[in-house]
Amino acid sequence: MCGIIGFSGVRKVPASLIMEGLKRLEYRGYDSAGIAWQVHSKIRIRKCAGKVDKLWEALPANLELRSGIAHTRWATHGAPTDTNAHPHTDSPQRIAVVHNGVIDNYRALKRMLESNGHRFTTETDTEVLAHLIAEQLNGSIEEAICRALREVEGTYGIAVIHAGEPDKIVAARRGSPLIVGIGEEGSFIASDAVAMVGRAERIVHLEDGDIAVISGKDHEIRRASGGIATISDWSRLDIPPTVADKAGYPHYMLKEIMEQPEALEDCFRGRVQREFGTARLGGLNMMPRDFLEIDRVRLLGCGTSYMASCVGARMISDLARIETTAEYAPEHRHSNPIVRKSALFFAVSQSGETTDTIMALREVMRKGGKVLGIVNRVASTIARETGAGIYVHAGFEYAVASTKTMLNTMMGLFLFGLLVGRMRDLSLARGRELIDAVSELPDKIRQILAMRDEFRSVAEHFSGSENFYFLGRGYSYPVAMEGALKLKEIAYVHAEGYSAAEMKHGPIALIDETFASVFVIPRDSVYERTLTNLQEIRARKGPVLTITTGETDDLESLSDRILVLPQTDEILLPFLTTVAVQLFAYEFAAQRGCPIDQPKNLAKSVTVE
């Protein structure tokens, strides 16, 4: 949940080359930041709590360097302070380390090192790595790192420099992503390819157990499986240079909300076959008979990926008549899961690097289960380890709070349900009807986005509220959970998502004139039942925002404000109501002046357990 960038060049370059890459990684962690570089066989370090801009201001004017490593942190061990910021060093400052991940046995290692005379100055687990490598130093730095890592339990993505070996950077990975890149100016190490955009031309992803050594344009990647990475392991870096451009919007989150119509089209374009009323998903690598043998589907995810999975589970159950459930990935992993030959699992993750989800899929695969990936990053760990699945084509997502990835993940799961449903009981007519409705979704989302002034007015009306329930039934229940999650993430208010039916079994006790409720109540098969739940809230004088479709006559007296969305097929309503709760959360947070793209305590990609 932190960002790493390292650079070794063929000549001196301005420090801005590294700092610009670090700035692009700030969405992965922004508690503190630091950089280490070499001057005359000595290591120099600057680090501080706070954002990357603060570090930039602390650097010497016109600083140039041949090599360096930098880090932006999301704290796990130790508070976000100047001292705890990375890079960390051994006591003589001959070795500097930046690290993503968690060293599980760092306390035992620290006691051992202290008994050998090492003295520690921080609260972090990472400092142990610097001292442990120094303890093993007897020859080259890469040999010392290999020996040190044999004693480490846990996860890591590290980049290391040694004062005695100028311009050399050594990187190693276990469970935390690292990428090597090559460009005209030299070689890079980074935890995310976005840090190298415009600089590196070709990249290679490290696998667990790999060691990479770079120096200028020289590079060597030693595979854990034996041997050296070859030219066939490398691919072009094809992220556009405009990836970090807000395109005139005040926040990345709003930009990405507004991109959703086009992103959704990118997800289903070429994948629907109206003639046959079905979908085509070639990346699944499954034969038609394989789908007929499935009798249950498990969707494993965390956060917004879990919410998308909850919607997807209902879709697959309805379309394919297969028992489908969404489960929190870490809970599933530690539940001693039952894995049957007839079950199909999906690992669902925007980044494809979510550690909890990766560990869950590995547990299923260890038991012989079949796991497919649903990701937005083609070369991610989940994509590589599953080898098959659905790429959701949402484009790069920079804001911490996921928006367009949720919609496209739901679409990927819908297309899977349509594909399998048409192999089973779903009629050709119904398949065509759904495909026609899907093709209309982007324009209907554009209609919702055109209502932004209305959403802003509603957010202003509720901006003084500190407590919210988000309530819905059927397909609207997981959308309500997602709405509550978004409001918590970016506006820092207490919000809970419930089934509207469950609300009266306890949560209603909190309702009064100050406790607001957002009802997701489109005109669907459970509308009348949800309306009864709304009346129960109103009877207790609770303020209500209603998000609905169609006529509003029976809602006027029960609602403080109403947002009316376009109508669509019931199974597709979440694509519209999700955009609505996203936009409400955004406008609410904007009213309160919150740091929407970088909410406190959160990071985009959760790569620690």
Q: What amino acid positions are annotated as catalytic residues?
A: 2, 604
Sorted by sequence, the CB contacts under 8 Å of residue 269 that are 6+ apart come out as none
- Angle 25-31-32 from CA coordinates, rounded to 5°: 80
**CA–CA gap between residue 14 and residue 419 (Å, rounded):** 53
Judge contact between 401 and 490, C-beta under 8 A.
Answer: yes
Dihedral sign, CA of 239, 244, 248, 249? positive
Judge contact between 176 and 184, C-beta under 8 A.
Answer: no
- Report the first-to-last Cα separation within the chain, whole angstroms: 10
Nearest to 548 by CA among 565, 532, 531: 565
**CA–CA gap between residue 399 and residue 27 (Å, rounded):** 7
**On the CB side of 578, how many CA atoms lie within 13 Å of its CA?**
30
Nearest to 475 by CA among 391, 574, 399, 558: 574
User: Both tokens of residue 4?
Assistant: 């790493």
Judge contact between 352 and 325, C-beta under 8 A.
Answer: no
Q: Helix 303-320 and helix 476-491: axis angle, to 10°? A: 170
**CA–CA gap between residue 518 and residue 462 (Å, rounded):** 10
**CA–CA gap between residue 341 and residue 321 (Å, rounded):** 18
Question: Whose structure tokens read 């919150």?
Answer: 594
CA dist list (Å): 279 to 268, 296, 433: 9, 20, 13
CA dist list (Å): 300 to 93, 305, 589: 43, 8, 29
Judge contact between 142 and 184, C-beta under 8 A.
Answer: no
Judge contact between 569 and 549, C-beta under 8 A.
Answer: no
3-state secondary structure (DSSP) of residue 72: strand
Integer-rounded Cα radius of gyration of the chain = 25
Sorted by sequence, the CB contacts under 8 Å of residue 532 that are 6+ apart come out as none
User: Both tokens of residue 468?
Assistant: 């919210």
- Using CB atoms within 10 A of its CB, is residue 227 exposed (0-12), middle (13-18) or buried (19+)? exposed
